[in-house]
Amino acid sequence: MSNLLAGLNPAQKEAVVYTGSALLLLAGAGSGKTRVLTHRAAYFVDQKIATPSQILLLTFTNKAAGEMKERLGKLLSSSSKASTDNIFAGTFHSFCCRILRKDGHNIGINPNFVIYDSNDQESLVKNILYDLDLSPTEFKPSSVLYFIEDCKNKYISPDQAKLSSSGFWGRNVANIYQKYQQKLSNYQALDFNDLLYRTIDLFLNHPQILSKYQDVYRFILVDEYQDTNQIQYLLTKLLGQDHQQVTAVGDASQAIYGWRGADYHNLISFTSDFKDTKVINLEENYRSTDIILDAANAVISRNTSHPVLKLFTQKKSNDQIKVFSADSELSEAQYVSDKIQFIHHNLHIPYRNIAVLYRMNAQSRVLEEAFLKQTIPYVLIGGLRFYDRAEVKDVVAMLRYATNRDDHLSELRVEKALGKRRKSLLNHHLESINTGELTSIQLLESLVVSSGYLAKYDPKEEDDQKKLENIKELKSVATNFPKPNDFLENIALVQQEYSAQEKNKKKENRDGVRLMTLHGSKGLEFEVVFLVGFEEGILPHSRSMIEDSDIEEERRLCYVGITRAKDYLYISYATRRLFFGKSSLNEPSRFLSEIPQSLLDSDELSSGLSDSHSDNQNSNELVYDPDIY
């Protein structure tokens, strides 16, 4: 047992050994929550409080589950190691899949059911639209699937959806939902959301089966509880209500996935769901310097709708947060690339330990081009390079086809992107204009509008909104290259640079600067972090500036970005930005004013850094926070 508690701080030790009732761990960024969770599970086995098969560890990714299982194997004594295979550590979906394979026959599910992926789901919806003689333009398959997913995540059946629906679209989409479920049943298939939805069906309709699993999994540990949606929350509550031995770990201040159904109120409700819940705060941070943490605390403390932890650290530093005011997005990208070169060559920090974080995918374009010019290797995490994104390639193909009607390859892509009917509309439009008399931005807007291409995307959907932002960002490039041929030539040259980096892909993956969205950075840590586009309308996003709840989520996103930094943090904003083809004057983000001035230092291109930095500067591995997400 001494080995299990070695190196833990007092709060972590208390969390590991507590056995009285349900336990809620409010664990701040970098506080070692995954370490506590795995040590707690190992402690239960080591002290014979639980057998391995009685422990259920639920996470959100297979990678996190694999890491937990590996840690458990190392923690437990050699005599217990053989039995760690009986500990279930996995995602909500994999756990429910196991249950339905075994007991789903009680609600008519074949044990050999197939699981439909997103392409299968879309094909099925298209078939239903055809059967019902409904237009896929008016009832866009992705929008229909979003509705169905939302219903299932809230445990709303097709019948309930039909009763509560109103309006032409609402009534029809509820009917599609019903037909969709009928066809899934006929085909002995489930989609990913069904794995949880049908498991809840099974438990509620067959209490004896629920009781069986309550008895099997007496000790339930759930990671990232603030990111659970309603049906995941319901599953946890049903499984744990008998023995009340549930451990939930989370941090409301890092709840940034509200747009996809996550509800941090589940974390707040935990103490009422389980009687006599013990609450322990993990507030000692092992990642960031005191200055970075003070800034993070100052920002997140403005939120009032959820518990806010006050993080502290033993890691002292004199390096203030550098703030750079750029006169344009190009100047900002130049600053970031110059500063990265300085840090890499003078402080000998590997490129891979440096991250540039931004609010929107479209912001990567100008950074990518600056890095390519300075031959800074980079890796886009969780996304494609700007000119490799499908919607960008589609629009570029339209431009190429418009300027050269003999370009058959571009014509084929245009036809695939638009369909034959819209392609004929585009051809008719091209015959009515003189492309040689139009500027790049005029031609771009003309093609996108006349082709009806934008109808493919629903601006109310998060993923579609990102695609629309990427298309709009092409207008910024077009503004810088007024002649269409120059515009296309520039794109070709950038793509050539992409190819050159692809040939060096193995080295790049080891050494490249990490470029990613703030959402994508959760669970990661870096020696140096750049937060770019720190402006009103970007962070917080313009779509999030009406409701207080949306502003609070944007503030949590800012907090997540700040707490990714271990040693150095750079914040930059542009007073004037050419974005989506329009030049605008911007105010610095309100979040910047929430950071005490004593923690900030105005920076310039030529300013330097101190020589002190963390000991793992020569690591050849991408540094993941233990709390992998």
CA distance 625 to 435: 52
* 33 given a catalytic annotation: yes
Spot the catalytic one: 12, 230, 254, 320: 254
Nearest to residue 627, comparing CAs of 219, 30, 25?
Answer: 30
Query: Is the bond preceding residue 52 a cis peptide, omega within 30 degrees?
Result: no
Spatial contact of 336 and 616, defined as CB atoms under 8 Å apart: no
Spot the catalytic one: 46, 194, 224, 603: 224
Round the CA-based radius of gyration of the chain to a whole number and report it. Answer: 26
Which two tokens mark 358? 């931004």
* 182 given a catalytic annotation: no
Spot the catalytic one: 46, 191, 194, 223: 223
Concatenate the DSSP letters of all residues of 510-560 into one string: HHPEEEEETGGGTTB-EEEEEE---BTBBTTBGGGSSSHHHHHHHHHHHHH
Spatial contact of 471 and 398, defined as CB atoms under 8 Å apart: no
* 564 given a catalytic annotation: yes
CA distance 124 to 186: 12
SS3 string of 446-457? Answer: HHHHHHCHHHHC
Spot the catalytic one: 35, 71, 359, 564: 564
Which two tokens mark 101? 């394979």
Spot the catalytic one: 34, 181, 226, 563: 34
265-268's contacts with Cβ under 8 Å and 24+ in sequence apart are 266/225, 266/226, 266/228, 266/230, 266/233, 267/24, 267/26, 267/225, 267/226, 267/306, 268/306, 268/307
Nearest to residue 573, comparing CAs of 328, 291, 299, 298?
Answer: 328
Spatial contact of 367 and 515, defined as CB atoms under 8 Å apart: yes
Spatial contact of 495 and 333, defined as CB atoms under 8 Å apart: no
Spatial contact of 188 and 113, defined as CB atoms under 8 Å apart: yes
* 359 given a catalytic annotation: no
CA distance 287 to 293: 9
Positions marked active-site: 33-34, 223-224, 254, 564
